[in-house]
Structure 1
Amino acid sequence: MPEYLSPGVYVEEVDAGPRPIAGVSTSTAGMVGVTQRGPTSGKPKLVTNFLEFQTTFGGFLPEPEPAVRDAWANNPTEGGRWWLFPLAVKGFFDNGGQRLYVKRVVSTTAVPAAGTLGQGLVSPIARDAAAGATTLELGHLIGFTGADAISVVRGGDNVEIDTATITAYNATTRRIVLDAPLVAEVKAARGDYVQVGTRAATPSLRFSANSPGSWGSAVRVRVQPSVSAALPVLPDPAEGALLITALAEDAPADSTSITVNAVPGLDPDDLPADVWVLINERRFKVTVAQPAAGRVVLTFTGTAPHAPWRTGLTVRRVRRATAGAGPTLRISGSSRLYENAVTQLDTGDRLTTLNVLSVGTDDVVTFDNDTPALVFETARLLLVESTVDTRFDDPGGGSVTETFRGLRLGGDGPGTLVGTLSSRSRLVLAATQAGLSLDPARFPVPATGSWLTLTEGGTDGAAGLTVGDFVGTDGGSGHRTGIVALEDIDEISLCAVPGVWSGTVESALITHCEQLKDRFAILDPRDGLDIEGIQAFREPFDTRYAALYYPWLVVNDPATNRFVEAPPSGHIAGIYARTDTERGVHKAPANAVIRGIRLTDGLAADITKRHQDLLNPKGINALRFFPGLGQRVWGARTLSSDTQWRYVNVRRLFLFLEESIDEGTQWVVFEPNDPKLWALVRQTVSNFLTTVWRSGALAGATADEAFFVHCDRSTMTDDDIANGRLICVIGVAPVFPAEFVIFRIQQKTREPQLV
């Protein structure tokens, strides 16, 4: 109760009236089957269209080798054609399905593809260059020194086409200048690259496909060093202020001194002994004379060859960051750095690799080695991390590419290469090896080329696939497999294992639905059965939680561009979802056109009325062709011998009502069990059932005829109340489908009229 302990105004929120019950979704499906790739651990994955399914689980499957195919397809009791699963998924979306949870089944003998990177320094060609060119644009200059001997290699066949030495570089544009013209053209699209030194076979990183199967043999991986940040080097505080002036008069070529305009601070008394200036992006060491008549003479120390300079040319003083080698530098933005970070110091004429030991106050960064003797404020410290590119070219068409930037090589936590791929990549996993080095000159590279293809392992293990793999095991939430894994998703209301007619698998699917009591199963018969065969197949089943459809469908297989027979369960589940969305769960999912099948002869067998006269009473739902109406579902019966649960829509309507009331009345638990609560429960449930009745799901001209809700002393005894039980009795009158439409016509004779 609220407390009123001091004078004042109190504003309170008071619950008024019953709490509404929201109807649960009835069109979300869950399917279990073999896919080309995709996650095998964790909960089933949601896909909302077939393209998303292909992206996550791959495309259509080829028929397995004859021995495996025949072992499954010719087994009348424990067989199946599991390789048709993607066709069933496509049928689900073709027929109006919108949400599908998929659990991949994989053989216990399947092995993921893998590959190992060695060590070396490789940089891809970023721009084409013709024969005779003396400059190259590379993908990166990380690990280079600026005076390296390089090999230029053709990407198509990894043949060396030239060797050269770098004489100059520009780290911003990633251009290098060679000591000799190229003897042959280089092309970026061909995958040409530059290599420094030789490669070592020492293992650095091992990659594997993130799920088992032969699909991984088509996965390629590339790891490259990359610059995550370019941080300016700060000058030594003792260097004084920044000065910018200009030439006061022309300077002839190779002059030993220049005259500039006097500016505040440009005085030898205010400057250190060594002064450096920047002219046309070149540094010169100068001595500064005393200003006179508004001008200052700067004399070059040593020889300073240069072109003629014109009056007005900018002359800028450039300050030193260090005066002598040492392990520290002041870095702007040092907060971007971290302990053991790999960096590359670019002084304009040299590239130096340094590892960060610590980041102190006042932007002082300590490295594991000394910096060059002279470092100026024009230098940049590059934070070196890695970029991983992955690519999978699907043999069935299409491809998946991924790029992950700014990854640390070492460790396995967030932000590292191993940790990021484990949590985000749909294609690969990585593991560090003992030989992994943080030195960019010994970066992870394949034995040849710049891409690693995962050629080790990569087997589907189809020969080891068993019905137990489809049934699955219960390892707890998130660790279940097969049919059992569908338990992890409460939203699922339709279940199927397309293409598998194994009695063990279908019994497990029925048991799954009967235990959870919130979902309905769609079963597939064996392919090729005749009328007697389908009746014999149906005999072992008696359940109100499943339906059986016959015959199989004829669809186009994009993998072979041929028409093949496919199991009906995927298409039927899509029709269930479509009917629920358009009409409601109370509408029988029948008399609906089957989409996504061959327009003519889309059914594997012709079912006539006389055939269906035998099938319908036994709960076998026929798929039939009607001239002018197309190919339709012509049955809506469950596999139950109980006539109360004969129809699919009645069973699913009660599942909808039970689950909606269950989820919408959870607030009642632990409330005081008194008449006030009973009245609220009655009103809550009555309001929900009234809405359902008005939608046409319940029979009756009035709400009283459609349902009743009792929750009072007539449903509970004192013993029930003492034991914490609140009992609410609900009765509903479902609408039954007009399965037999009968028109009785008789002759009417004309009665004689008396005049």
Structure 2
Amino acid sequence: MPEYLAPGVYVEETSFRPKSIEGVSTSTTAFVGPTRKGPLSGTPEVMTSFGEFTRMYGGLSNLSFASGTDAAPEMTNYLAHAVRSFFENGGARVYIARTFQPRIDAAGTVTSSGLAQSAQFVTTAGGFTAQFRSREPGSGYNGEIRVSERLSPANVATMAAAPDGSLLRIGGEVIARSATLRGSTGPTFFLTHNDQLTLTATGVDVTIQFQGTSAVVTGSALAEPVTVPDDTTLVVTVDSMEQTINLPAGDQSIAALVDAINRSIRYGRAWIENGDQISLGTDRHGTSAALAVQANDLLGFAGGVSSNGGGNVADLEHVTIAEIQALLDGARPNTLRVTMPPSTGQLTFATVATGTAATLQAQDTPGRTALGLPSAVATGEDGANPSYFLKTNGSWALVGGVNIPAPDTSQPLTTTAHLVSVNLETEDGDGNLMAYENLGFATTHPRYIGAILPQRPSRKADALQNLYWLQTSGTNEPFALFNGLLGGGTENTIPVAGGNDGGTPVSSSMTAGAVSYERGLELLEIIEDISIIAAPGSSGFDPNDTADILYRDVQNRLISHAERMKYRIAVLDTKPGLTVGEVREARGLIDSTYAAVYYPWITIANPLARPGNDLIPKEINIPPSGAMSGIYARTDVQRGVWKAPANEVVRDALRFEVDVNKRQQDVLNPEGINCLRYLSGRGYRVWGARTATSDLEWLYVSVRRYFIYLERSIDVSTQWAVFEPNGPDLWANIRETVSNFLYAEWLTGALLGASREEAFFVRCDRSTMTQQDLDLGRLICEIGVAVVKPAEFVIFRIGQKTADARG
């Protein structure tokens, strides 16, 4: 109560109207699953466009859950495609909880953390080392870091103003340079098996050999003639591309069968082995080559066989500079560097040593020809032998180059001098760029590169944007770091490689560094505005999961999460390629009013497909939960949450994996399996709106979601009532507040009834509360609503009548 103590006029604000209830959003979605990159810990990030998603979590490129497929990933990136489909179908906001399972051996020991890293570009006798590492694991971090020298004129004023840790170069207008050979333009290079490259660096031969063998399988011995029944096929998968080859019927020679295979197979070949066996091999040579033949007793491939290529590079036709550098380091460390400077785009070999004493020559080998290297001897340049000084506690101390006295900062310099720093640009595996300017080399510099790119930034925004960090060990040596970053020149490219997507995702894990589906869902619990939850692809990641353990466990965790959080619905996928009987069996294992099941998967045009490259399929199948979550959001915005998200077009569909007809849906729909169907003249549509429950009170998705909307809206907007005096004034205020909200809902068409009395009721008085309730601090308000339900069966009864009929 206000106090009135002194005489005067008192003006006070008051309210004569009840509180208001604002409807909450029902279209905010959350997806959980693996991506190419992105944060694994902390609060999941909300994405408002697909472009924003690709910058933070990576693009659509395939994932690899085994080391044998890292060079040519085969697993469709279901979550990324689901996010794209979500936005194309009308979604506006989606949170991403990324999962990751480190690769482990049979004993459970981690064999790969999945982190990307560069080679150590600094290794000194004093024990100082430096390399770049990705902040999180993932194949999306395999990229490169481009470094360029930045010079600022040095004079009395700039030297005085320069902060501690600044590097000063005096003299050296002509810089000492490495011996350099430039070859073909990249980004990759074509070689053949056992091609040798010998580079003579200052009198020392550095020899490497490029090795890559194809994947080969050989069948058992055959007896001629081979009798081939009609419609016999051979199914082979070459480098993740499945092909079905029709074989000629009748009595065939082995040679005729080989010819038939060679006429049809793509990116592979067949030949006769030992006169009576058929062998198949890939055109690709290298560790990324893969070949699998499905069981075919007729051709000697009983039980099916598979094979992988070998060698020391992933693909001899596309050798990368990172692979070349790894081979050079293996042959003779700290002798040669291979880069591809942005200014030339050419493959460049350079000696670590500089000056005219450094020489480099490519010997006459097949590798020299393949890489386009000249035969002439390259010689380094001595330059003008600059001197380098580091500012420490306000004074300049010599750290490298020619030994001359420290400059007198009170007198003008008589020799050209520059303050030296670097500009750095990072590019990840999806082509996303980040630039950093004027970076220093000493830990005391205000823009020390290790402080700008630390392992654990103090700001979350920096942790999300800065993908890499500088890992150092030993005592900082600024001059060595300067030389290592630039590789003895004025610009350098440092490859970052070795990042991978881990192992097959798991529902729960005790492995260090793992983020399972269980953990991902836990991270989503702290975000209150999520209304839709899904795990796109969890039903298709493990083809060897014949018992459906991962699929069922993730599905159950999604349902438990939605029921526990109370204001969410789980959008569930079926497994790919299921028959009607199989999908009924899968649906029979769950029963929840907080879940909806959709079938079948959606066939879309593959955004990664390129003309002339048949290794990349033109079409792919993706789980429907991404598109359905977008359709939920679209329907909420365009009509309202009370409108069933059905009879809506699936915007990105070319077709559906299974063509469900009416008779099949007559079986599926009563069991709560929502079908996606092609309807002639109306396109590809969602043709089901039921929850996965046996409770007829909550039969429809729109009813469940509308009650979620009502309950959360009332929950959020009546928090003011807590600890208010529990009496008639409060009860009347709540009655009017809720009644006004429901009246507005009735006017929008969300509630049935010719009058508000028929549409809803609100009771909050002594009839809803006993004295014991009041004594225990309880206020009980009873609300009943006549919610609109979808017209699932539209029935027109038509009959004949006579001309004089009266009714």
Q: TM-score w.r.t. structure 1 length? A: 0.65
In the alignment, is residue 403 of structure 1 matched against residue 406 of structure 2? no
Does 2:514 match 1:514? Answer: no
Partner of 1:22: 22
- How many Å apart are 1:7 and its aligned residue? 4.2
Between stretches 424-433 and 690-699, larger displacement belongs to 424-433
Return the offset for 1:202: 5.8
1:438 lines up with 2:478 in the alignment:
yes
Counting only pairs closer than 5 Å after superposition, residues 701-720 of structure 1 correspond to structure 2 as 701-720=754-773
Name the residue aligned to 2:749: 696
**Which whole-Å deviations, capped at 9, do the CAs of 1:434-482 have from their partners, x for residues lacking one?**
24223488454265774453456423332x5423269999999xx9832
Q: Aligned partners of 2:580 and 2:643: how far apart in 1?
A: 28
* 8 Å Cα contact 1:32/1:470 also seen in 2: no
Q: Which amino acid aligns with 1:569?
A: S
Distance 1:4 1:662, change over 3 A: same
- Aligned match of 2:783: 730
**Residue 591 of structure 1 pairs with residue 647 of structure 2:** yes
Give the counterpart letter for 1:492 in structure 2.
I
Q: Does 1:372 align with 2:297?
A: no
Residue 166 (structure 2) aligned to one of 342, 346, 355? 342
Residue aligning to 2:291: none
- Conserved in 2, the CA contact under 8 Å of 1:220 and 1:391? yes
Deviation at 1:6, TM superposition (A): 3.6
- 1:83 corresponds to: 77
Distance 2:496 2:55 in 1: 22
Distance 1:420 1:11, change over 3 A: farther
Report the Cα distance in structure 2 between the residues aligned to 1:732 and 1:580, rounded to whole angstroms.
19
Q: Which of residues 88, 102, 124 is equivalent to 2:96?
A: 102
Q: SS state of the match for residue 556, structure 2?
A: helix
Q: Distance in 2 between matches of 1:460 and 1:36?
A: 6
Q: Give the secondary-structure state (helix, strand or coil) at the position aligned to 1:687.
A: helix
How many residues in Structure 1 have an aligned counterpart in Structure 2?
A: 547
Among 149, 157, 161, which residue is 1:233 paired with?
Answer: 157
Relative to structure 1, is the Cα distance of residues 221 and 616 closer, same or farther in structure 2, using a 3 angstrom cutoff?
same
Structure of greater Rg? 1
Q: Deviations over 1:237-295 (max 9, x none)?
A: xxxxxxxxxxxxxxxxxxxxxxxxxxxxxxxxxxxxxxxxxxxxxxxxxxxxxxxxxxx
1:538 equivalenced with 2:538 (yes/no)? no
Q: Which amino acid aligns with 1:589?
A: P
The one-letter code matched in structure 2 to 1:342 is S
CA distance in 2, matches of 1:626, 1:68: 43
- The Cα of 1:751 is off from its aligned counterpart by 2.9
Q: Does structure 2 conserve the Cα–Cα contact (< 8 Å) formed by 1:555 and 1:563? A: yes
Between the aligned partners of 1:730 and 1:410, the Cα distance in structure 2 is 68
Aligned AA (1:404): Y
Quote the offset at 1:591 in angstroms.
0.4
Measured in 1, the distance between the counterparts of 2:501 and 2:571 equals 27
Equivalent runs, 1:2-17 vs 2, <5 Å? 2-17=2-17
Closer, same or farther: CA 443–14 of 1 in aligned 2, 3 Å: farther
Q: 1:671 to 1:412 in 2, by over 3 A?
A: farther
Match of 1:44, as an amino acid?
P
The residue identity in structure 2 corresponding to 1:511 is: S
Quote the offset at 1:11 in angstroms. 3.8
Relative distance call for 1:106 and 1:352 in structure 2 (3 A) is: closer
Name the CA distance, whole Å, in 1 between partners of 2:584 and 2:487.
Answer: 61
**What is the distance in 2 between the residues matched to 1:378 and 1:18?**
82
Shift of 1:210: 2.0
Amino acid at match of 2:166: V
Q: Which residue of 1 aligns with 2:49?
A: 49
Which secondary structure state, in structure 2, belongs to the residue aligned with residue 93 of structure 1? helix
**Distance across 2 between alignment mates of 1:386 and 1:550:** 55
Report the equivalent of 1:217. 142
Paired residues of 2:139 and 2:499 also in contact (CA < 8 A): yes
Give 3-state SS (helix, strand or coil) of 1:431's partner: strand
Change in Cα spacing, 1:438 to 1:665, as seen in structure 2 (3 Å) is same
2:707 aligned with 1:654, yes or no? yes
| 2:243 equivalent to 1:207 | no
CA deviation profile, 1:554-596 (whole Å, cap 9, x unmatched): 1122232521221111111111111111001000000011111
In structure 2, the residue corresponding to 1:578 is in which secondary structure? helix
> Deviation string for 1:202-243 (max 9, x for gaps)?
64433111221233332335375665x978639xxxxxxxxx
1:735 Cα deviation (Å)? 0.1
**C-alpha deviations, 1:498-555, integer Å up to 9, x for none?**
1223100000000000000011111111111111111111101100001111111111
Q: 1:82-231 alignment to 2 at 5 Å?
A: 83-109=77-103, 110-118=113-121, 203-222=128-147, 224=149
Q: Which residue of 2 aligns with 1:571?
A: 627
Instruction: Provide structure 2 residue ranges, at least 5 long, that are not aligned to the other structure.
Output: 104-112, 174-385, 399-405, 540-550, 609-615
Aligned to 1:172: none
2:452 to 413, 417, 420: 420
Q: For structure 1, which runs of at least 5 residues remain unmatched after alignment? A: 70-79, 121-198, 235-328, 359-365
SS in 2 for 1:459: coil
**Is the Cα contact below 8 Å between 1:554 and 1:563 reproduced in 2?**
yes
* 1:60 has 2:60 as partner: yes
Flag the 1:752–1:524 CA change in 2: closer, same or farther, 3 A: closer
CA–CA distance in structure 1, aligned partners of residues 38 and 99 of structure 2 = 10
Asked whether the equivalents of residues 100 and 515 of structure 2 are also in contact (C-alpha less than 8 Å), the reply is: no
Structure 2 match to 1:495: 533
Deviations along 1:664-717, one digit per CA (max 9) or x if unpaired, are 111111222222122221122122212222111111122221111111111122
Deviates more, 1:4-13 or 1:532-541: 4-13
> How large is the RMSD of aligned CA atoms in angstroms?
3.8
SS at match of 2:115: strand
1:232 touches 1:378 (CA, 8 Å); kept in 2?
Answer: no
CA contact (8 A) 2:425 2:436 kept: yes
Paired AA for residue 592 in structure 1: E
SS of alignment partner, residue 102 of structure 1: strand
User: CA contact under 8 A between 2:592 and 2:691: conserved in structure 1?
Assistant: yes
CA distance in 2, matches of 1:447, 1:377: 28
What do residues 52-94 of structure 1 show as CA deviations (whole Å, max 9, x unaligned)?
A: 221211122326479999xxxxxxxxxx977322222221111
Counterpart AA for 1:512:
H
Contact 2:148–2:486 (CA under 8 A) maintained in structure 1: no
SS at structure 2 position matched to 1:113:
coil
In structure 2, do the counterparts of structure 1 residues 63 and 439 end up closer, same or farther at CA, with 3 Å as the change threshold? Answer: closer
Q: 1:448 to 1:441 in 2, by over 3 A?
A: closer
Q: Distance in 2 between matches of 1:470 and 1:735?
A: 47
Distance in 2, Cα, partners of 1:410 & 1:491? 46
Q: 1: distance between equivalents of 2:752 and 2:787?
A: 6
State the alpha-carbon separation in 1 of the partners of residues 422 and 660 from structure 2. Answer: 63
Q: Quick one: structure 1 residues 354 and 692, their matched pair in 2 at CA, closer, same or farther if it must change by over 3 Å?
A: same
1:175 matched to which residue of 2? none
Partner residue of 2:32? Answer: 32
Give the % identical residues: 39
Q: CA deviation at 1:34?
A: 1.5
Instruction: Summarize the Cα distance change of 1:695–1:226 in structure 2 as closer, same or farther, 3 Å threshold.
Output: farther
Q: Report how far residue 107 of structure 1 moved.
A: 1.3
Q: CA deviation at 1:745?
A: 1.4
Change (3 A) 1:231 1:606: same
- The one-letter amino acid of 2:593's match is R
SS at match of 1:205: strand
What is the deviation of 1:22?
A: 1.4
In structure 1, distance between residues paired with 2:513 and 2:20 = 38
Mark the CA change 1:63 to 1:475 in structure 2 (over 3 Å): closer, same or farther. Answer: closer
The CA distance in 1 between the partners of 2:393 and 2:672, in whole Å, is 75
Show the counterpart of 2:799: 746
